[in-house]
Amino acid sequence: MEIKILSQNDNPLLKRKEIRFDVAHVASATPTRLEIRRAVADALKANVDLLFVKKFETRPGMHTAAGVANLYDSADQAKLIEPEYIIKRNVPPAPKPAEEGKKE
């Protein structure tokens, strides 16, 4: 998987950077949102907890995808601006507790 940052626009009013990127994923299926989030954060040398992938689409018939992400200055700022459903999409799922007294 190869990440290419197309543009970074600084938005001082909302205290964030708005990022457009492309992902080439030739040898595998479309990566998950969490994998993309980590890869973009690594490419920007930023904290993964402050990055939120808003949109991510694979182009038809190609092994590339385009996306949009926001990188915030603080977690509090992100919680104020980003919709709750975007925050939930960008957080890994909580592990399910094992059922006690399982019948075999």
User: What CATH number should be reported for the domain holding residue 38?
Assistant: 3.30.70.330
Q: Is residue 102 part of a domain?
A: no
Question: What is the tally of structural domains in the chain?
Answer: 1
Domain around 57:
2-89
Query: Confidence class of residue 102 from pLDDT cuts 50, 70 and 90?
Result: low
Query: Confidence class of residue 83 from pLDDT cuts 50, 70 and 90?
Result: very high
Tell me, yes or no, if the pTM score tops 0.85. no
The pLDDT value recorded for residue 67 is 94
Q: Which of 53, 55, 31 is nearest to 44 (CA)?
A: 53
Distance CA(72)–CA(35), nearest Å, equals: 19
Q: Is residue 44 part of a domain?
A: yes
